[in-house]
Amino acid sequence: MSEEAQDALMRFVRNFGLHQPDRTPCGQPLPVSEAYAMAELARDGRLRQVELARRLRLEKSSVSRLVTNLVGRGWVRRHAAGDDGRGVLLELTDAGVTAAARQAEARRDRLAALLARVPHDQRAAVVAALEILAEAADAPSEEAGGARRGDGSGRGLR
Average pLDDT over every residue of 111-138: 93
Average pLDDT over every residue of 137-154: 54
CB burial string 4-38: b at 16+ within 10 A, e below:
eeeeeeeeeeeeeeeeeeeebbbebebbbbbbbbb
Q: pTM, whole model, 2 decimals?
A: 0.78
**Between 95 and 138, whose confidence is greater?**
95
For the chain, what percent of residues have pLDDT higher than 70? 86
The pLDDT score that the predictor gives to residue 63 is 96
Please check the confidence at residue 146 and state whether its pLDDT lies above 50: no
Please check the confidence at residue 45 and state whether its pLDDT lies above 70: yes
Average pLDDT over every residue of 113-129: 95
CATH class in words for 2-117:
mainly alpha
**pLDDT, tens only, 46-105:** 999 999 999 999 999 999 999 999 999 999 999 988 777 778 999 999 999 999 999 999
